[in-house]
Amino acid sequence: MKKLFSIVLVVVLLVSMLSLAGCQAKTYELAMITDVGDIDDKSFNQGTWEGIKEYAEANKITHKYYKPTEASTDAYVAAIDLAVSSGAKVIVTPGFLFEEAVFIAQDKYPEVMFILLDGTPHDAAWENFKTGPNVYAVVYAEEQVGYLAGYAAVMDGYRNLGYQGGMAVPAVCRYGFGFVQGADDAAKELGLAKGTVKLMYNYSGDFADTPASQTRAAGWYQAGTEVIFAAGGKVGNSVMSAAETANKAVIGVDVDQSAESATVIASAMKGLAYMVQFGLKEYYAGTFPGGVAVIAGAESNAVSLSPFSTAKWKTFSQADYDSLFAKLADATIVPQKDEGRTDPTLLNPQYITLTFVE
Amino acid sequence: MEMLYLLLRQTMFFSIPLLIVALGGMFSERSGVTNIALEGIMVMGGFAGIYFINQLQSGMSGQLLLLLAIVIAVAGGVIFSLLHGYASINLKADQVISGTALNMFAPAFVIYLARMIQPSGIANVSFKNTFLISKVPVLGDIPVIGDIFFKNTYITTFVGFFILIVSAVVLYKTRFGMRLRACGEHPQAADSVGINVYKMRYIGVMISGALAGLGGLVLTIPISTEFKGAVNGYGFLALAVLIFGQWKPMRILWASLFFGFMQTISAAYSAIPFLLNLNIPSEFFKMTPYIATLIVLAFSSKSSKAPKAVGQPYDQGAR
């Protein structure tokens, strides 16, 4: 029995070694490394991967995604190593969590191009910043699309707003800061007395759907909040659940979330696929825009509210949206960024009552 | 007043799953088997129930669907708990290790499974919530009590209380309950009078699997629109409730209501002007149930009501 078992084991080992060797013969030119979520997170990973896939299939380029063993810089670098050894020429990394990994890998593999979405490469201590000639770093102007959402909500007649962020990471803060400023400017424009528009503001501290987040949202809705902008991954699902019970509204985030719940009146979207494909096109044209960190906002159509075909605005019209969007695109309106701040009261809004729930 | 009612209703969303799962843990531990696999079993049961709803919701909805999903979640939990039973009763493995293994296995397994069986290939199993009862006829008109228990509620709340009553009766008033407790206190003595300890422990573990599986479904329904292999530590919280409740059904009820209410306050205090103006950090509210648990444990550790033989594999030959 024991002998048989060891023979079987040896055969299994041999077969798996052979199949591994077989794998390595195949190379993939485009690689993506996933961050903490899965490839189907309906958010960053998925949006980015769809962009890569579309471009690669149209141009018949081999492509593959790699899932790191864990969410750490070491694991990300290991995944990049694996991708390079499998023949990757361009590696796409979605999310600011890759900042350190790309900082390390850009010197390790100078011949490989990196597209870093939503961040700029820096070392672990945040002391050395370097975007090498082989790195195209894209930072989204979340504050612009947050601004659009806040402005549109107030213009559409909502007076009690809520912002439910996830962890207080820079992107989440920018969304919230933009939302506050947009609501404030809309209140000013409508000439509403101070206190007419109220805004509750919270970071849940996680990206999970929990009874706590559902309860917080239910409490706000009960206390009069009409619409909550939920920017925190699955925290949004809890907010949607509360909204369904209370029959209130939600503004979704990152991608068009209108299919997830009938309560989603609009979504603040980032053009992930668009920016990835832009980088890839430039690479294959021989003009890879490396060495710079690009802030992608309205001017390059990298951020937008979800289209009016899926949105449920009452009075806010396409024309209103277009004129506001144009002002953001030509920098007539420049919402403040987070700049390391998490506390929205520092924005000191003049026309709305802001309650920051710590 | 409406806000108070809302808070009490929200408390149920926290407390009922904790109550159900802690009662499940009680049956297992009272039979002598430590069950820290509650978290993993919740994930399994939640997945089974939610996937069932996901598949059938195009053809049916409402309470019947939910009741059927409850049956499925219970079945899923029972089957999964048998792994723990086999390892800790037949193989006499370390029950903590077996439980930990199941906790690590369950989330990964259900995500893998969701990917395999869903045509879209995604890990999230979405569901439409058609189960809210906006008002129970007649009972909903009772002042105060009607507002708290019979408006904007779920049938699972009543299932939870029903399970509590049945558990208390079974544990204290039936021959089975007495035998189960005997197996957790002194299995050798139980065996000497002809009780099949292995069988009783299997039943204890299976009841805990049934209730924990149900708890996973009950937790997920009111708070999300999809399930993705996680119950966010509520299985471990239920263990704390079990210990806080000193392995007794009624005390477990009070413990789960206390935990639930404190969690509700910590999440919703921002909607209550009075609490918001006190400027107490939300961490304070979040800490309270745990600090209370530590204090209670510190004072009651000498007279702890933990079953004497919990965690020890029973070996008939070593009698």
CB of B2 within 8 Å of a chain A CB? The answer is yes
* A284 inside domain: no
B266 contact A CB<8A: yes
Q: Under a CB-based contact definition with an 8 Å cutoff, are residues A280 and A260 in contact?
A: no
- For residues A351 and A207, state if they share a domain: yes
Enter the tokens of residue A198: 């109220």
Note the pLDDT of residue A8. 72
On whether any CB of chain A is under 8 Å from the CB of B228, the answer is yes
Q: Which residues contact A27 (CB under 8 A, 6 or more apart)?
A: A62, A86, A87
Tell me the average confidence (pLDDT) per consecutive run of 10 residues in chain A, 358 residues long: 69 62 70 81 81 92 88 89 92 89 93 90 83 91 95 96 91 94 95 92 89 92 94 90 93 88 92 88 89 86 90 93 94 90 92 90
- What CATH number is given to the structural domain containing A199? 3.40.50.2300
Rounded distance, CA A101 to CA A94, Å? 12
B126: chain A residues, CB-CB within 8 Å:
260
For residue B127, give the amino acid letter.
F
User: Does residue A222 sit at the B interface (CB-CB below 8 Å)?
Assistant: yes
Inform me whether the pLDDT recorded for B3 exceeds 90: no
The mean pLDDT of chain A is: 88
| Residue B319 in this model has a pLDDT that exceeds 70 | no
Contact call for residues A167 and A207 (beta carbons, < 8 A): yes
Same domain, residue pair A156 and A129: no
What SS3 state is found at A170? helix
pLDDT tens string A125-139: 777 888 889 999 998
Q: How far apart are the first and last CA of chain B?
A: 61
In whole angstroms, give the CA distance from residue A127 to residue A120: 12
Contacts A244 to B, Cβ<8 Å = 129, 132, 225
pLDDT score recorded for residue A1: 58
pLDDT tens by residue, B115-168: 888 876 677 898 988 898 888 888 888 888 888 889 889 999 999 999 999 999
Query: Taking 90 as the threshold, does the pLDDT of residue B317 lie above it?
Result: no
Domain that holds residue A46: 28-140
Asked if the structure places residue A293 within a domain, the reply is no
Query: Are residue A186 and residue A123 in the same domain, yes or no?
Result: no
Which secondary-structure segment (H or E) carries B295? helix B282-300
Query: Considering A125, A140, A155, which residue would you say is the last residue of a domain?
Result: A140
What pLDDT, on a 0 to 100 scale, did the predictor assign at position B74?
A: 97
Report the distance separating Cα B75 and Cα B82, nearest Å.
11
Q: Is residue A18 part of a domain?
A: no
How many domains is chain A built from?
A: 2
pLDDT at B33: 94
- Distances in whole angstroms, Cα of residue B123 to Cα of each of A70, B80, B110, B114: 18, 20, 8, 5
A38 contacts chain B (CB < 8 A): yes
**Are residues A40 and B122, on separate chains, in Cβ contact within 8 Å?**
yes
Separation of alpha carbons A208 and A205, rounded Å: 9
Strand (E) or helix (H) holding A103: helix A99-108
Chain B CB contacts of A260 under 8 Å are: 126, 225-226
Same domain, A88 and A198: no
Do A135 and A222 have their domain in common? no
* Residues of chain A contacting B281 with CB distance shorter than 8 Å: 358
A212 to B2: CB separation less than 8 angstroms, yes or no: no
Closest of A83, A5, A43, A314 to residue A175, by C-alpha: A43
Residue ending a domain, choose from A140, A156, A190: A140
User: Both tokens of residue A322?
Assistant: 């277009």
Establish if A282 belongs to a structural domain.
no
- CA distances to B25, B30, B130, B211 from B203, in Å: 12, 11, 34, 12
For residue B32, is it left (φ>0), alpha (ψ between -120 and 50) or beta? left
C-beta of residue B315 within 8 angstroms of C-beta of residue B93: no
- How many whole angstroms separate alpha carbon B49 and alpha carbon B77? 10
Based on the domain organization, do A194 and A241 belong to the same domain? yes
> What's the CA angle centered on A257, arms A358 and A251, to 5 degrees?
40
Q: A72-95: buried (b, 16+ CB within 10 Å) or exposed (e) per residue?
A: ebeebbbbbeebbebebbbbbbbb
In angstroms, what CA-CA distances link B252 with A329, B38, B143, B258, B299? 59, 16, 27, 10, 18
pLDDT digits (tens, 9 = 90+) for B183-230: 999 999 999 999 999 999 999 999 999 999 999 999 999 988 889 888
With CB atoms and an 8 Å threshold, state whether A212 touches B266. Answer: yes
In this model, does residue B249 exceed pLDDT 60? Answer: yes
What ipTM describes this predicted complex?
0.81
Please check whether residue B244 touches A, CB under 8 A: no
A222·B132 Cβ contact <8 A:
no
> Which of A95, A121, A140 is the endpoint of a domain?
A140
Tell whether A208 lies on the interface with B, counting CB pairs under 8 A: yes
- Please, what is the average pLDDT of chain B? 90
- Provide, as residue numbers in chain B, all residues whose Cβ is less than 8 Å from the Cβ of A237: 224-226
Query: Does A178 lie in the same domain as A69?
Result: no
For the stretch B255-266, pLDDT in tens is 999 989 888 888
Strands A197-203 and A160-165 come out as: parallel
CB pairs under 8 A between A and B: 103
At residue A334's C-alpha, the angle toward residues A333 and A335, to 5°, is 115
Phi, psi of A322 (to 5 degrees): -60, -40
Chain B residue numbers with beta carbons less than 8 Å from the beta carbon of A42 are 122, 124
pLDDT score of A106: 93
Q: Which domains does chain B have, with CATH numbers?
A: 2-318 (1.10.3470)
Q: Do B270 and A241 touch (CB under 8 A)?
A: no
Give the helix/strand (H/E) hosting A139. strand A135-140
Q: How far is CA A152 from CA A180, A226, A253, in A?
A: 12, 14, 15
Does one domain contain both A122 and A233? Answer: no
- Regarding whether A148 and A104 lie in a shared domain, the answer is no
The answer to whether residue A234 sits within a structural domain is yes
Q: Cα separation of A84 and A114, whole Å?
A: 11
**Residue A25 has what pLDDT?**
57
Same structural domain for residues A213 and A340?
A: yes
Higher pLDDT: B301 or B16? It is B16
What are the CA-CA distances from residue B60 to residues A185, A245, B252 (Å)? 47, 20, 35
**Residue A9 placed within a domain:** no
Interchain CB contact of A70 with B (< 8 Å): no
The tokens describing B10, both together, are 């929200």
Q: Are residues A135 and A202 in the same domain?
A: no
Residue A236 lies in a domain: yes
Report pLDDT for A14.
66
Q: What is the pLDDT of residues A47-65, one digit of tens each?
A: 899 899 999 999 999 999 9
Residues A119 and A163 occupy one common structural domain: no
Q: How confident is the model at residue B28 (pLDDT cuts 50, 70, 90)?
A: very high
* Domain presence at residue A1: no
- Residues with Cβ within 8 Å of B52's Cβ and at least 6 positions away in sequence, in order, are B68, B69, B72, B73
- Any chain B CB within 8 A of the CB of A244? yes
Lowest-confidence range among A2-11, B265-274, B288-297? A2-11
Q: B266 to chain A: which residues are within 8 Å by CB?
A: 212
